[in-house]
Amino acid sequence: MTATQPGGGLEATGGSVRVVRDRAERLFTWSYERERPQLVNLYNKAAASQWNSVTDLDWSCEVDPERVTTDEPPVVALARRAAQIPGSPLAAWGERQFVELRVESFKAQLSQFMHGEQGAMMTAAKLVETVPWIDAKYYAATQTMDEARHTEVFARYLSEKVGEPYPMSPYLQGQIFGLLEDSRWDIAYLGMQIIIESLALAAFGDLLRRTSEPLLRQLLRYVMADEARHVAFGIVSLNELYRGLTSAELLERQEFLLDNTIRNRLRAATPEVWDRMGVNLGEVMPFLAQAAAETGAGPLATFQRAFFSKLVPNVAKLGLLDANDGWLRSRWGEAGLLEFEHGDDTASDFERYDAVAADRAAGSLS
């Protein structure tokens, strides 16, 4: 069996690939008319704001993973508090272990970024094949390139500057593989361009605020410039599609959003971090939960606020808050999410995020 046959190819990978079966149909179009000026504009911006990970970033710097963020991640603050609780498995921890936890959670975060970026690359490639409009196919092709570059820079940063990556979290696998398998092309859009891209913008923005490491800062600024455009692509495309859907079809999309945001609220941090720290996850969880309850904040509270302040206004723009007599509005209202309805405007804000264009205008990028 040669490596080009499916079975032989998989065997040759030594278990490092996973098969995902896509149920969506591929659409070839004969209509080459540029009928969607907003998508034409985004495509032209994407072409003009390409950057090169090898020549536009300075990889020569030394990075100290213990000092890469200016403050401790929330999980370390929680662990410090949990260590004070009688009977805690962290009771014997000294400063060394807290510093190690800090490095391991940074590594875990970058690892999920890297896996998520590959998922984004695969989803963008799926959109090239499944979306019926030529302007959207063109745009998704530029996004596929953007996401390849994002995957590549996080993988390189991890391997050269930080250390052994973590596996993809089961939560992220469930979310991304579901999009890749779905027969409805707009669900891949909604899940990736609206939910995961909003999540990525919030997470990258949070890390950018917390780091003074120059290479990571530059990399995040350029990645975010691309991501903001990707969110805008989703909103422009879905706005058009959702105007033509029935109430029943819109309800499916509303249910998808509710399901995914609730799952997001329950998502756990990479559990393998605790394995690497030599701590049993089941034993430490009750103490972390008690510490979180005492401080009145979950480990992702600040970051989740940033996420919802991007997501909720975008969903409102798509008409999905108010469709079906406000079905999603009342449910998100019960979950306390409506305070974010007038948060960030990422649909039109992508130019403000364009650090690549800004650096080119300033002459610091060729």
- Contact status: 230 vs Fe ion (CB under 5 A): yes
Considering the complex, state which of residue 107 and residue 115 has its C-beta at the smaller distance from Fe ion: 115
Quick one: which segment of 99-107, 228-236, 326-334, 336-344 binds Fe ion (CB under 5 A)? 228-236
Q: Which is nearer to Fe ion, 100 or 129 (CB)?
A: 129
Closest CB to Fe ion among residues 56, 117: 117
Contact yes or no for 144/125 (Cβ under 8 A): yes
Q: How far is the CB of 322 from Fe ion (least distance, A)?
A: 27
Provide, rounded to whole angstroms, the least separation between the CB of residue 41 and Fe ion: 18
Min. distance of Cβ 288 from Fe ion in angstroms? 30
Kindly tell me which of 101 and 200 has the beta carbon lying closer to Fe ion.
Answer: 200
Residues touching Fe ion, count (CB under 5 A)? 6
**Which 133-192 residues touch Fe ion, going by CB under 5 A?**
147, 150
- Contacts (CB under 5 A) with Fe ion, residues 3-42: none
Pick 147 or 354: Cβ nearer Fe ion: 147
Least distance from Fe ion to the Cβ atom of residue 309, Å: 18
Convert the chain into a string of H (helix), E (strand) and C (coil).
CCCCCHHHHHHHCCCCCCCCCCCCCCCCCCCCCCCCHHHHHHHHHHHHCCCCCCCCCCCCCCCCHHHCECCCCHHHHHHHHHHHCCCCCCCCCCHHHHHHHHHHHHHHHHHHHHHHHHHHHHHHHHHHHHCCCHHHHHHHHHHHHHHHHHHHHHHHHHHHHHCCCCCCCHHHHHHHHHHHHCCCHHHHHHHHHHHHHHHHHHHHHHHHHHECCHHHHHHHHHHHHHHHHHHHHHHHHHHHHHCCCCHHHHHHHHHHHHHHHHHHHCCCCCCHHHHHCCCCHHHHHHHHHHHHHHHCCCCCHHHHHHHHHHHHHHHHHCCCCCHHHHHHHHHHHHCCCHHHCCCCCCCCHHHCCCHHHHHHHHCCCC
Q: Which is nearer to Fe ion, 82 or 202 (CB)?
A: 202
Residue closer to Fe ion, measured from CB, 190 or 321? 190
Contact region with Fe ion (CB under 5 A), list: 28-36, 43-51, 221-229, 260-268: 221-229
Which residues, at least 6 apart from 175, have a Cβ–Cβ distance to it below 8 Å? 191, 196, 260, 263
| Least gap, CB of 42 to Fe ion (angstroms) | 13
Could you tell me the smallest distance in angstroms from the CB atom of residue 155 to Fe ion?
A: 13
81 or 150: whose CB is closer to Fe ion? Answer: 150
Which residues in the 97-126 window bind Fe ion by CB under 5 A?
117, 120
Question: Least distance from C-beta 192 to Fe ion, angstroms?
Answer: 8
Residue 120 beta carbon to Fe ion: minimum distance, rounded to whole angstroms: 5
Site residues for Fe ion per CB under 5 A? 117, 120, 147, 150, 227, 230
